[in-house]
Amino acid sequence: MVEAADELNLIPKENTGAKVLVTIFEDPQPALAAAAVLRQKNINAEVFPAQDKIDKQLKYANRKGVNFVLMIGPDEAAKNVVTLKNMQTGKQETITLAQATDVLAR
């Protein structure tokens, strides 16, 4: 029922305080590891609670007022990179986690 209300945008947009949402793909380990690194750098990171379609995860970030989304899919994990999307501009770039941390620390 909550999911249905969320899908219909009946739940008000609320800022969770997170600066970045880390998405979950098939294997949650890269996301959890990335979130731990971000938190060690005092960057407020939220991990999406379950594996789901990327569109749903992006909509969730938008509804929560999160400024950035960090994606580590199978391709990124294999190349040891992440995709960082700015939710305000829509711009996304594939960079290292260290570079993403620098961007998010600003």
Provide the residue range defining the domain that includes 58. 14-105
| Residue 49 counted as domain residue | yes
Residue 6 lies in a domain: no
Query: Which token pair is 94?
Result: 């594939």
- 7 found inside a domain: no
CA distance 34 to 12: 28
Please enumerate in sequence order all residues whose Cβ is within 8 A of that of 31, keeping only pairs 6 or more positions apart, or say none: 22, 23, 24, 25, 47, 48, 70, 72
Tell me, what CATH number does 55's domain have?
3.40.50.800
| Residue length of the chain | 106
Q: Say what the pTM is.
A: 0.84
Q: What is the pLDDT of residue 7?
A: 59
Is 30 a domain residue?
yes
Mean pLDDT per 10-residue run, the chain (106 residues)? 56 70 95 98 97 96 98 96 98 98 96
User: What is the reported pLDDT for 17?
Assistant: 84
Number of domains in the chain: 1
Res 4: pLDDT? 60
Q: Is residue 9 part of a domain?
A: no
User: For position 3, what pLDDT does the model report?
Assistant: 55
Element of type H or E holding 105: helix 97-105
